[in-house]
Amino acid sequence: MNDVPSDPFGQASYDGASTSFDLLHEKVRRWIWRQGWTELRDIQERSIPVLLEGQRDLIIAAGTASGKTEAAFLPIVSRLATDERKPGAGFEAIYISPLRALINDQFGRMETLCEEVKIPVWKWHGDVASSVKERARKRPQGILLTTPESLEAILVRRGNEAKRLFAALSYMVIDEMHAFMDAERGRQLQSLLNRIEIAAGHPIVRVGLSATLADMKTSAAFLRPLNPNGVEILESKMGSQSLKLQVRGYIQPRLKQRSENLDKGEETGSIADIEIATHLFDTLRGHRSLIFAGSRRNVELYTARLRGLCETFGVPEEFFAHHGSLSREHREEAERRLKEDDRPGSIVATTTLELGIDVGHIDAVSQIGPGHTVSGMRQRLGRSGRRAGQSSVMRVYTTEMAIDEGIHPIDAMRPRTVQTIAMLNLMLRRWNEPPQIGCLHLSTLIQQILALIAQHGGLTVKQGWNRLIESRVFPEIDQALYIDVLRRMKHPEVQLIEQAPDGTLLPGEEGERVINDRGFYAVFITPDEFKVITDRGRNLGTLPIDSPIMPEQLIIFAGRRWRVIELDNQRREILVTRAYGGVPPKFGGEGLPPADEVVAEMRRVYESIAIPR
């Protein structure tokens, strides 16, 4: 494994005398002492005076595990603790995350900080009990941790309460901001931030956190569309830390015929995949690691193989599956296991652990295949090497076809290996994929028009224009296109909206149905799914309704092998029992093609490397 001297994250400890520590509230300083911190990170030193002042929007750009959340909330909590406030006068800060799991993880950390100064902290998302939300709604105060979809639900269902809920709001913090930028959820989020400010009746400081922003000018325009030049940008100035990177290539012999085991519903795996699993087992057993396998299918395959090796060699089970189709309980169980410092363990995951969910100290990160994005690769590598003096460690495994007379010319060029090298090169240059600019996002525009109508009980054409177009949430939409969208929504064949005699836009027959649908608050498609339940009553997770599952079929799910006992179409449940053999079900979803700059870097790699002879 080769040492790479420069760190694309900049995570080494900051070595200067603190000038900001004394600005914090006394009880916040006491909390810091109890954490055993010997100093503040440089990004925290610089963010504290800005956010205590509370007059400027701020982007905090720093590497994974560099203390970005604390850089935002140490001064925010100090400011809230100092300000006089009336109990129940409204939420004072909102933390917005792309993931429920990230909210659950941050909630515990936030609670320990805020209990020092008697500031309540509330979770509000789909997994939170209605009784908890009702208490927060009746007596809103403190810090609210939520998702864009839950904020949308609050505004649509409680539109007449929006002013009371947000009148005292001073800060809105967007975590993992790069995950929203110029995606459908990002446009929805920008609209929500604007709608909340209108409800509150005053400007609210916006704070964006990210480790992988590609362009700060574009990021500032996303955070505050009407005044990007007023956004202050803090980028980490921390020193370098050593990296250890290794690319391992494996040859996959050409398959002569279909495997008999596969015909029986058993997954034998390719020779290359088995060799990779064996190396992962030999290298990572007894350590703490994350293995990013790419697809949910790969997560299931590799977890099952690694667990099979544990069983074969009679050693404790140390490998756990983690992806979006698994139940929350299953994912959290794997996360808790890795937080136990005295026990080794590895999680095999998709992108679900790229973001800032805390799983404790990680010795090494492994990745199977080149991955989807350079920014994702950077996020993954940043999960290891968090302790002082420790290197960040990453192994990337690639497979290629054996070269023979039947190989396709493209396969003979080793594209996966070259793409991996190209992406590592770009990562070391601190390059990230830029957001796509100029997309119309008309489906999200329509959703936001309906959301505003539902929130306010009606909307004029001018109000919609001001709040969605003039606000620069949808800057690509001109007046003619805006009017065309409204006309189409009003068309008798569509009936999303209708217009009252005074010009007010109201929900049409189909619009009422759409707004009342539970999926309205999300701007992404959520597929119909079956629950996977064991014969002992445990919920393992969900599978898409179009996944071809039949009784007696052998499947791999949650890293274990199962036999399907029964399909209950009415209850939408798949009943399973433990078995041997099986293949992962089809989950759906396609990987994204590499960015143009990755392709360009691949060409540079091809042109610069001599062909071995």
The first and second tokens of residue 409, run together, are 């010319």
Instruction: Give the Cα separation of 441 and 446 in Å (integer).
Output: 9
Give, in degrees to the nearest 5, the angle at Cα 282 between 277 and 286. 115
Can you tell me whether residue 235 is helix, strand or coil?
Answer: strand
The domains spanning 2-235 and 442-516 adopt the same CATH topology: no
**Domain residue spans in the chain?**
2-235, 442-516
CB 378 within 8 A of CB 211: yes
Instruction: Give the Cα separation of 540 and 534 in Å (integer).
Output: 7
Of 147, 63, 152, the closest CA to residue 99 belongs to 147
Can you tell me whether residue 208 is helix, strand or coil?
Answer: strand
Of 303, 299, 288, the closest CA to residue 324 belongs to 299
0.75 cut: is pTM over it? yes
User: Could you please report the per-residue DSSP string of 442-477?
Assistant: HHHHHHHHHHHHHHHT-B-HHHHIIIIIITSSSTT-
Strand partners, 143: 93, 121
Alpha helices in 83-226 (DSSP H): 100-114, 130-138, 148-157, 162-166, 184-200, 216-223
Instruction: Give the Cα separation of 232 and 63 in Å (integer).
Output: 18
What are the pLDDT digits (tens) for 289-330?
999 998 899 999 999 999 999 999 999 999 999 998 999 899
Please give the helix or strand (H or E) that residue 424 lies within, else none.
helix 415-428
Helix 26-34, helix 68-82: angle, nearest 10: 140
Task: Indicate the DSSP class of residue 437.
Answer: -
Task: Indicate the DSSP class of residue 13.
Answer: P
- Superfamily of the domain at 2-235: P-loop containing nucleotide triphosphate hydrolases (3.40.50.300)
| Residue labelled with tokens 């994974």 | 64
The residues, any chain, with a CB within 8 Å of residue 108's CB and separated by 6 or more, are none
Count other C-beta atoms under 10 Å from residue 15's C-beta.
9
Task: Indicate the DSSP class of residue 515.
Answer: H
Which portions of the chain are predicted below pLDDT 50? 5-16, 257-265, 612-613
Can you tell me whether residue 512 is helix, strand or coil?
Answer: helix
Radius of gyration from C-alpha coordinates of the chain: 26
CB 432 within 8 A of CB 375: yes
Look at domain 442-516 and name its CATH class: mainly alpha
CB 531 within 8 A of CB 513: no
Give me the count of residues in the chain. Answer: 613
Helix 415-428, helix 374-381: angle, nearest 10: 70
Residues 548-587 as b or e (16 or more Cβ within 10 Å = b)? ebeeebbbbbbbbbbbbeeeeeeeebbbbeebebbbbbeb
Of 606, 524, 574, 546, the closest CA to residue 184 belongs to 524
Of 196, 154, 145, 202, the closest CA to residue 174 belongs to 145
**pLDDT attached to residue 588:** 66
**pLDDT attached to residue 14:** 37
| Residue labelled with tokens 């088995």 | 274
What are the pLDDT digits (tens) for 9-39?
443 333 446 789 999 999 999 999 998 888 8
Instruction: Give the Cα separation of 105 and 326 in Å (integer).
Output: 17
The first and second tokens of residue 330, run together, are 């299953």
Helix 442-456, helix 148-157: angle, nearest 10: 40
Of 2, 5, 3, 431, the closest CA to residue 240 belongs to 5
Torsion of Cα atoms, 501 then 506 then 510 then 514, to 10°: 180
Instruction: Give the Cα separation of 319 and 124 in Å (integer).
Output: 31
CB 159 within 8 A of CB 81: no
Instruction: Give the Cα separation of 293 and 580 in Å (integer).
Output: 22
Instruction: Give the Cα separation of 56 and 227 in Å (integer).
Output: 11
**pLDDT attached to residue 188:** 97
Please, is 160 exposed, middle or buried when counting C-beta atoms within 10 Å of its C-beta (0-12, 13-18, 19+)? exposed
User: Could you please report the per-residue DSSP string of 580-610?
Assistant: S--BPPP----PPPPPHHHHHHHHHHHHHSP
**pLDDT attached to residue 384:** 83
